[in-house]
Chain A
Amino acid sequence: MSFTTPEIAWAPLAPVIIVLGAAAVAILIESFVRAAQTRRRVQLGVSVVALLAAAGTAIVQWATLEGAGTIVLDGMLTVDRQSLAWQVLIVVFGTLGMLLFAARTRAGEEAFTPLGSVAPGSTEETLARRKGMQVTEVFPLALFAVGGMMLFTSVTDLIFLFVALEVFSLPLYILVALARRRRFLSHEGALKYFLLGAFSSAILLFGAAFLYGATGSTSYTEIAQGVASVSGVDALVLAGAVMVVVGLLFKIGAVPFHSWTPDAYQGAPTPVTAFMAAATKAAATAALLRVVYEAFYGLEWELSWLIWGVSIASMLLGTVVALVQTELKRMLAYSSVAHAGFILVAFAGFPDGALSALPFYLASYGLATLGAFAVITQVREKAEDGTVMGEATRLGQWAGLGKRSPWLAAAMALFLLSFAGIPLTAGFVGKFVAFAAAISAGAWPLVLIAVIASAAAAFFYVRLIVLMFLTDVPEGQEDAVEIDHSPLARVVVVIAAAAVVLLGVVPGPVLAAFENAGVLLLGAAG
């Protein structure tokens, strides 16, 4: 067996290299910049500049892309407009997420624990807090996650799929565990996320092994050829394909692979929840699109069982269970489960339209999610002596928010309406194009269920709006909640709100761009 060095096309990899390179630099900064305050500023600066540079490079590549795209690393990666669109999306989510990471309360308190390595409530922790220590490692960790996700969107080989999956998952597990308050909850969420994530990675790897056994290759194109050449359908191929898809469905958070979402969403520091909810879902959707369209296209009929079943279960369970949540972050977690179901609706029948509809759907969903969690970071509990505490995430605490802070409440209402898919918000256009794609493939019964589910889902979104605007602050609770305006979180809210409105009212340019992204370099094999 001889080994030949693959020819690497460096230029198409530039956005990923910039992000991962910046992550490496950020690690060095951790070692060399000692003052916590300066370090935080430098880290934020480096991260944001790197991400903007990556976005710029990706856009330049988009503009100068010759033909449909480039194959990189001997078929391991494909850089085409589809992957570039997703990369830009993930970088945008990453940038907004980073701004939230750096946001602090008026009292100068950030969302992360001062020292991640010590036990909650220990003397060391108190000491670290008093000394003003900061875990600025969150910035390089998030950069690694973003880099991994960017790779994840362009992978066309199962081995590399697994590598990219781990590159972005491992930093996320750590990030989830770093909450400043309620650290036990945070640890619990992280541990669950990690254990279940490891479990799902194993399933994915197992599936890859099956597929390698059946087709003799881990490359998407060769698997597709293998699938086509097998007479009839092979149980090994099917089981392998199902396991790979299930591994990705875990990351998307679809039922019954959703169990980690409520705990991880609730336990994680809210900026991490925001970033994770938006970016992970986008990256996993992108990877699922590619593997399904390039490797499993021939298995459309067989996989339809999986898509339909999981989609219906997600929409139903997500919507119904969200109805009874009294904790805001858990409610949004279940809402994200329902959205996973809506995303899968577009997969039904593997329509071409899904390739351009889903980037838009995820853009609308991610922006609204980032915005909503950014609002959550600003609504704080207040102790009787006036000190501002952690986030007020019980639904009841949001009563009368419209009177306390009309603008913040209005922004939240906008994001919720977008989740609900009310016209003139991005969410509506997103649902419209996603469902239209499914209908074009004849999956109207699924769309019917999706429409009913989204109408029912509107109820719990609107319940929160009613709570904010039409309910008075309960008596005696007037001083229990405080709006803590942090400038950075505010910037995120404003950007997200503007984007949600723009994408809802004039989605044209973006839709047209994603229309171009709907062409895969290798085409749908099958």
Chain B
Amino acid sequence: MLDLTWLLIAVPLASSFVLLLLGKRANPWGHWLGVAASGTAFVIGLLALIQMLGLDAHDRSHAVHLFSWIPGGELNLDAGLLVDPLSMTFVMLVTFVGTLIHIYSVAYMEHDPNRRIFFAYLNLFVAAMLLLVLADSYLLLFVGWEGVGLASYLLIGFWNQKPEYATAANKAFVVNRIGDIGLILAMGLMFTYLGGVDFATVFAAAPEASTAQLTAIGLTLLLAATGKSAQFPLQSWLGDAMAGPTPVSALIHAATMVTAGVYLIVRSAPIYEGAPAAQTVVAAIGAFTLILGALIGMAKDDIKKALAASTMSQIGYMMLAAGLGPIGYAFAIFHLVTHGFFKAGMFLGAGSVMHGMHDQVDMRRYGALRTAMVTTWVTFGLGWLAILGVPPFSGFWSKDKIIEAAFVGEGAQPWILGGAALIGAGLTAFYMSRLFFMTFHGKARWTDDQHPHESPALMTVPMIILAVGSAFLGLFLAMGDRFTDWLEPVTGHAEHHEPVLPVPVIMVATLLLVALGAWVAWRKYGAADVPETAPAASLATIAARNDMFQDSVNRGVFERPGTHLTRTLVYADAALVDGAVDKTAHSFARTGESVRKTQNGQVRSYALTMLVGLVIVIIVVVQGGL
């Protein structure tokens, strides 16, 4: 079965093509084909997992050769898959959560005339994501990386009849391209310093490379990761990406694609081993983003954008853990898995609420939905308890470990990172409780035409399954260090280190902060009345509502200089040279007024450009050469 893992990618990809190629003929059954493709991938993955569990820990890494991709000379590169515990973890997460979300979408997208295309894109996404995690080289990973980007782009813009949605898709694309540059550069550096871009070569050569080289590679990889995983400073696209249909937000922008950056960092562990500085930057970015995301989440009234901010913040936790080295890798992935369940569950819950509330996303127009939508309320509640880190729900087992690990170290670092993680837990409790209470508790603030009702079974069953995962998966995987042992062949054995504070102190402090956050939220948004429009707010709140002015920063840092550069070059290309020539011509022949306006003048100016260029080049070369 392990040799057949290529089917994991081939099946959804083929289904995607079939759905696109058959056109309207496939409309009546197309969505079920999509579900079946994703389900088949899950079954294949499960069989492979069972086979892998039967092997010894050190035999679990399995290479599958596909074909010779770019052969020849120094560039020999095969396309192959690497099936090991880390990639299998992702395979299971992507196919399981993916299949549930496919099923949910059958009902959610029922009235959309383009439902078949939606499923084609979803299948495409699943194929690309599996390629990303199964690739055995950075180059093939990059193919998947671009593939998920493409699918994400298509799905964000799926409802492109609204112009702002198309804009959101564009923004996601542009920001992701910046991240992609990082990955391309990293590959270039690897090729130069480590002699290849496949994992085996790179990781074998990494220990011999210098710290500076590894740091450069590590930082460029981090740039790639920040783009894909919406980490500071490339986080701004995630909020806008919520324009896509909600199942997309659940699958791509919560459970799977956005965590690809974490995967990239953990997979590149041997590089970061030799680059402590890059590792520290990873952890710092993670810690910063987790606070930033939490602050933004506190001020958002749009339920999906609040959840998006929360995703950003939770991935910040994973980044932080990934930046801690071997001690954190397993916890980063652990949190990634539990987060995949509870966040996807909550997104589906949000979709269910929107379904029942006429696509209303403003939480100030929700309230008291617990009676109208019991299943949604309970499943969402389980996700809420999980993300808060309340024992014994899933999030507790993963997040608490990260906080503990963040407190390990020497000097000021553990206090800063640990402190951020600890405060983040309190903030998370506040904004998630705010979201939960505003939506399901308090007084009903519905508009007149809203008649909330529970969603159909096709939607609630996936939510229930995810809720069960949110509740128990963490405990199941944490028992007897099951998950860390499973990942150990990949992430390496972590020596046990004592945190700077005793573990019980950290745990109690975390739980106290969580309780405090939830209590404040209850006082403000559960027990008290919530105004139907956002009240005037302090500068800090306004900043948070506006995503900490990230768009303005982007405009200032990237867009303006870009615009100026463009204008200058266009001007120089057309006007400047013409102008110079025109002036000369003017002094020579005033009568040539009409002639100058024709294209003849331009040819002269073109020729002058060439001549000036030639003279400059000759001077530079001759002067430089002599």
Contacts and interface: CB of A to CB of B under 8 A. Distances in A.
Contacts of B607: 195-196, 199
A246 B622 contact: no
Contacts of A246: 613-614, 617
A256 interface: yes
B67 A305 contact: no
B181 A452 contact: yes
B274 interface: no
- Chain A interface mostly: helix
Nearest to B23: A406
Contact of B570 (A257, A324, A440): A324
B157 interface: yes
A472 B162 CA distance: 10
A303 B624 CA distance: 9
Contact of B606 (A192, A422, A515): A192
B371 interface: no
Given A316-B569, A433-B75, A470-B160, A302 B621 contact: yes
Interface in B153-211: 157, 160-161, 166, 169-170, 173-174, 177-178, 180-181, 184-185, 188-189, 191-192
Interface string B550-571: 0000000000000001100110
Contacts of B617: 242, 246, 305-306, 309-310
Interface in A228-262: 232-233, 235, 238-239, 242-243, 246, 250, 255-257, 259-260
Contacts of A323: 566
Contact of A507 (B70, B161, B188, B573): B70
Contacts of B74: 353, 436, 440
A255 B572 CA distance: 12
A424 B135 CA distance: 14
B411 interface: no
Interface residues of A, number: 68
A196 to B, nearest CB: 6
A462 B620 CA distance: 37
Contact of B625 (A233, A432, A458, A507): A233
A455 B177 contact: yes
Interface stretch (A3-11, A443-451, A474-482, A484-492): A443-451
A423 interface: yes
A429 B613 contact: no
Interface in A415-452: 422-424, 429, 432-433, 435-436, 439-440, 444, 447-448, 451-452
A324 B71 CA distance: 39
B494 interface: no
A414 interface: no
Interface string B71-105: 11111000000000000000000000000000000
Given A305-B620, A451-B184, A429 B610 contact: no
B527 interface: no
A496 interface: no
Contacts of B178: 455
B192 A305 contact: no
A268 to B, nearest CB: 15
A466 B170 CA distance: 8
B603 A196 contact: yes
Given A233-B625, A455-B181, A423 B188 contact: no
A511 B72 contact: yes
Contacts of A433: 70, 75
26 contacts: A188-B599, A196-B603, A203-B614, A238-B622, A239-B621, A243-B618, A257-B613, A299-B625, A301-B625, A302-B621, A302-B624, A309-B617, A317-B573, A321-B573, A353-B74, A423-B143, A429-B70, A432-B139, A439-B192, A444-B188, A448-B188, A451-B184, A451-B188, A456-B177, A511-B71, A512-B71
Interface of A: 188, 191-192, 195-196, 199-200, 203, 232-233, 235, 238-239, 242-243, 246, 250, 255-257, 259-260, 299, 301-303, 305-306, 309-310, 316-317, 320-321, 323-324, 353, 356, 422-424, 429, 432-433, 435-436, 439-440, 444, 447-448, 451-452, 455-456, 458-459, 462, 466, 470-472, 506-508, 511-512, 515
CB-based closest 9 A-B pairs: A256-B613, A259-B606, A302-B625, A423-B143, A470-B160, A515-B72, A455-B181, A233-B625, A320-B569
